[in-house]
Amino acid sequence: MGALSRPEEVVALVKLRVAAGQIKRQIPPEEHWGFAYSMLQKVSRSFALVIQQLGPELRNAVCIFYLVLRALDTVEDDTSIPTEVKVPILQDFYRHIYNRDWHYSCGTNNYKVLMDKFHHVSTAFLELGEGYQKAIEEITRRMGAGMAKFICKEVETVDDYEEYCHYVAGLVGYGLSRLFYAAGTEDLAPDSLSNSMGLFLQKTNIIRDYLEDINEIPKSRMFWPREIWSKYADKLEDFKYVENSEKAVQCLNDLVTNALIHAEDCLQYMSALKDHAIFCFCAIPQIMAIGTCALCYNNVNVFRGVVKMRRGLTARVIDETNSMSDVYTAFYEFSLLLESKIDDNDPNAALTRKRVDSIKQTCRSSGLLKRGTIWTSHLTSIFCS
């Protein structure tokens, strides 16, 4: 039956396919902009859809910001690049974006194409307004320096984890807030809230991507902090094995509980946004993050394969997220889903309940919860299908 048993998702999927077709028709005619938008679709179809919420000028700036940081991330992720080569590239990347001739061949598949033809991204970057350029340059400089630091340093402590996530995602939150401000549509958000917007997304991805990252070739790159995982295993890769499932899930739950601390900051950030397009752009990924946390929590499948929301449910999130009422309702309902999975024997059960309760109370106190709109219907079949 699949999606046919969920007609509301079928409608949303059809709308999503129509929107994807519209994206192709909106690609600018200039070669460098055509490359930028087509590449965005190839490296992140979901982001390419969400970015369409924005007006043309801001959309161009965010597109280039994303591609610059994706290129920077490609350098960081390529474990075949020697450290003595990689570190200077990361540190100087913010200068390279001003050079129409610069490129560096690394990465695989679409990411290699992005790096080989990076001159198109630089050309588009140089056509942005000065306010956008300065914001992108600043964040690229700070992120590159942070990534370079962690090339030579493992994520040992929870403080290291916070710092690494700040460099690779919190700074994205800073940058987007600065781009929104440069567009003249939003006040400049507090850095603490912008940071949490990035950290919630990043921590969710780090949690979800355990198996992919631990199996990385030629060598694994892991960002689960030793201070947490060492409570449950001698080696991080031990969680892959079935005989360690109980401890693996306990560690997983510990990390999800850690991520939940950012949820209320995210709600505060989104509630202050004025521009509807920017609001939708920000809200959709955050709803996906709280949903993914709920799915991953207490779920041994994180150590067996890919855990993600169904395409139909993702389509609904994109189609139906239009107001803070929608956001509060989604956060509340996914919190209920996560709460229903808490095992009283879990070492962090009390803390998890406390954080979930706090999120639910924030949603209730808004006075904006919708009744009868069930995002998490068919809870047992919410996984990818």
Which pLDDT tens digit goes with each residue over 256-314? 999 999 999 999 999 999 999 999 999 999 999 999 999 999 999 999 998 988 888 88
Catalytic, 208? Answer: yes
Short-list 278, 264, 247, CA closest to 192: 264
Q: Are 331 and 290 in contact (CB under 8 A)?
A: yes
**Separation in Å, CA 336 to CA 290, 326, 330, 355, 374:** 11, 15, 10, 12, 11
Catalytic, 371? Answer: no
Confidence of residue 376 (pLDDT cuts 50, 70, 90): low
Residue 49: the pLDDT is 80
**Separation in Å, CA 271 to CA 32, 96, 298, 322, 334:** 36, 36, 30, 12, 18
Catalytic position from the list 35, 174, 223, 281: 281
Catalytic, 281? Answer: yes
Residue 378: the pLDDT is 45
pLDDT tens string 201-260: 999 999 999 999 898 766 777 899 999 999 999 999 999 999 999 999 999 999 999 999
Q: Is the pLDDT of residue 20 over 70?
A: no
Q: Is the pLDDT of residue 4 over 90?
A: no
Rounded Cα gap, residues 295 and 334, in angstroms: 9
- The fraction of the chain above a pLDDT of 70, given in percent, is 91
Average pLDDT over residues 77-89: 94
Average pLDDT over the chain reads: 91
Tokens, residue 187: 């006040």
Catalytic position from the list 6, 70, 178, 208: 208
Catalytic position from the list 125, 164, 167, 269: 164
Q: Is the pLDDT of residue 103 over 60?
A: yes
pLDDT tens string 310-323: 888 888 888 899 99
Rounded Cα gap, residues 120 and 136, in angstroms: 16
- The fraction of the chain above a pLDDT of 90, given in percent, is 77
Residue 379: the pLDDT is 45
Average pLDDT over residues 172-179: 98
Average pLDDT over residues 100-114: 96
Average pLDDT over residues 131-143: 98
Lowest mean per-residue pLDDT among 18-22, 126-130, 252-256, 284-288: 18-22
Catalytic, 221? Answer: yes
Q: Are 203 and 297 in contact (CB under 8 A)?
A: no
Lowest mean per-residue pLDDT among 47-61, 71-85, 330-344: 47-61
Average pLDDT over residues 20-32: 74
Residue 90: the pLDDT is 98
Catalytic position from the list 17, 45, 221, 364: 221
